[in-house]
Structure 1
Amino acid sequence: MTRDSEDPNADVQYHLGIDSADVADTVLLPGNPERLETIIDFWDDHELRARHREYRTATGSYEGTPISVTSTGIGSPSAAIAVEELARVGVDTFIRVGSCGAIQPEMDIGDLVITTGAVRQEGTSDEYVREDYPATADHEVVSALIAAAERLGYDYHTGVTMSADSFYAGQGRPGVDGFEAAGADDLVDELKAANVKNIEMEASAILTLANLYGLRAGAVCTVYANRETGTFRTDGESRAAETATLATHLLAKMDAVKREAGVDRWHAGLSLE
């Protein structure tokens, strides 16, 4: 029996410090709290609603569509806490907005990667469900992100992401004094051969939890590094933020079209205009 003082279902969520009045139905999830400033610059208005630890939450609107953002910090454990507590106050759609390392040679710095599914090489989602359960992105969110990237004219790639628990050893990078984890030499080559597009640290947990709870989720990341070519630059951070913001507006339009058509899911036969 959970004691009241430990109840995670209180109206104001323990880690995020928010309740149902603080957030919109769709929440963007950057890792870096400082990325909030990049995201809300694209909105028509905003208000900071909460700040606690790595979690910062703001809510506003874009083209008449309510929208929120909550930073999650680095890694799947803190991202899962954010999804849990946001879901508890009624959020039904999540879009991870981040940066990543690309592992296919044709991917350039500044390109976008729109995740369709993820390799669960993080331990958080294993705490929820068997390891062979797929981490898949919602097709409406993927469609909205693609449509947004197309409208904005940004170069993008779609495909499978790998989510790791470690920035160094877990992604095949050397540790202190050249330490290498078992299998590190082959990791990137194996992922590349499997047509995995990129590596980051949160998407698979976010997608897994959203699927378990019957919610929508997706991810869009800007390429900062290409592990195949050895290049690294922090260019194009705002592209993922702008794409996710526009995608939120398009999702709202999708939902309106669904209501008018009397269907549960948006599909390619329905217009967004």
Structure 2
Amino acid sequence: MPGDSEDPNADVQYHLEVAAEDVADTVLLPGNPERLEVIVDYWDDHEIRAHHREYRTATGSYEGTPISVTSTGIGSPSAAIAVEELARVGCETFIRVGSCGAVQPEMDVGDLVITTGGLRQEGTSDEYVREDYPAAADHEVVSALIAAAERLGYDYHTGVTMSADSFYAGQGRPGFEGFEAAGSEDLIEELAAANVKNIEMEASAIMTLASVYGLRAGAVCTVYADRQGGEFSTEGESRAAETATLATHLLARMDEKKREAGVDRWHAGLSLED
């Protein structure tokens, strides 16, 4: 193979500037670096470990469970870099924590969406694997997020998420001076008819890379935009953060149950209640 301009196997990762000792096994992945403060507010303790470009990383604990967070910036290219470099220092589980636009009419601003699978409308994952490869959330991560949302009493929806490469034209919004991309006027109706739940910009790439590498990934997003009714509000930003934090603790308990039972995958017969 041709020589690399940077060593991707260096102990300290090139973009994130983290090493193995800086991160826990499970990492929450918000896009916005400022959302890191919202997330760590739910933890028992934390320490900032790195901040380079859009990538800001903190590690701490919640109810005795080690947990990390790394911001990815906007979009799948930078999110894929985060997954790549975190995987190289030993991280095994990734949970996107973000905001989204709701597609279905029964969904309200402030609700949570827990992704079960993704429409790969972003181009990043196409550079890893053929386009008909599914972007599937890990069932253990989905189960933990659902259990967390139930325990916290938050309204949530589960289903397919579309990940786009554009906030404006690619999501059916007008561009500069009212520009409309071909087919944008029908996009939301077509997605709604196919029972797609929401639109955001990173989940499908994160889940695809995790599947390719044999890792776990999922996503929980707070609805900011009602794409059917036109309402937009940033209320409920902390709900996704709190849900993902509790889900990380539940995943650790699920892993403990698996070890006790001598099985590789958690299932409903391994109750977390006893």
Task: Report the TM range for the smaller structure's normalisation.
Answer: over 0.9
For the pair 1:199 / 2:199, whether they are aligned, the reply is yes
Residues 50-87 of structure 1: per-residue CA shift (max 9 Å, x gap): 00000000000000000000000000000000000000
Tell me the TM-score normalised to structure 1 length.
0.99
Q: Give, in whole Å, the separation in 2 of the partners of 1:147 and 1:2.
A: 47
**SS at the partner of 2:162?**
strand
Could you tell me which runs of 5 or more consecutive residues in structure 1 were left unpaired when the two chains were aligned: none
**SS at the partner of 2:78?**
helix
Counterpart residue number, 1:268: 268
Q: Give, in whole Å, the separation in 1 of the partners of 2:171 and 2:4.
A: 40
**SS at the partner of 2:253?**
helix
Q: Give, in whole Å, the separation in 1 of the partners of 2:241 and 2:226.
A: 20
Q: Give, in whole Å, the separation in 2 of the partners of 1:159 and 1:226.
A: 16
Counterpart residue number, 1:169: 169
| Segments of 4+ moved more than 6 angstroms | none
Q: Give, in whole Å, the separation in 2 of the partners of 1:162 and 1:54.
A: 23
Q: What letter corresponds to residue 148 of structure 2 in structure 1?
A: A
Tell me the TM-score normalised to structure 2 length.
0.98
Counterpart residue number, 2:112: 112
Q: What letter corresponds to residue 244 of structure 1 in structure 2?
A: A
Q: Give, in whole Å, the separation in 1 of the partners of 2:34 and 2:200.
A: 18
Q: Give, in whole Å, the separation in 2 of the partners of 1:2 and 1:260.
A: 46
Q: What letter corresponds to residue 256 of structure 2 in structure 1?
A: A
Counterpart residue number, 2:244: 244
Alignment of 1:208-247 (within 5 A): 208-247=208-247
**Post-superposition offset of 1:2:** 5.0
Counterpart residue number, 2:143: 143
**Post-superposition offset of 1:8:** 1.2
Q: Give, in whole Å, the separation in 1 of the partners of 2:72 and 2:247.
A: 20
Alignment of 1:74-153 (within 5 A): 74-153=74-153
**Post-superposition offset of 1:6:** 1.5
Q: What letter corresponds to residue 219 of structure 1 in structure 2?
A: A
**SS at the partner of 2:244?**
helix
Q: What letter corresponds to residue 89 of structure 1 in structure 2?
A: V
Q: What letter corresponds to residue 221 of structure 1 in structure 2?
A: C
Counterpart residue number, 1:157: 157
**Post-superposition offset of 1:4:** 6.7
Q: Give, in whole Å, the separation in 1 of the partners of 2:112 and 2:173.
A: 23
Residues 193-244 of structure 1: per-residue CA shift (max 9 Å, x gap): 0000000000000000000000000000000011001110100000000000
For the pair 1:53 / 2:53, whether they are aligned, the reply is yes
Q: What letter corresponds to residue 134 of structure 1 in structure 2?
A: P
**SS at the partner of 1:72?**
coil
Counterpart residue number, 1:187: 187
| Structural RMSD (CA) | 0.8
**Post-superposition offset of 1:5:** 5.2
Q: Give, in whole Å, the separation in 1 of the partners of 2:178 and 2:3.
A: 47
**SS at the partner of 1:228?**
coil
Could you tell me which runs of 5 or more consecutive residues in structure 2 were left unpaired when the two chains were aligned: none
Q: Give, in whole Å, the separation in 1 of the partners of 2:203 and 2:97.
A: 9
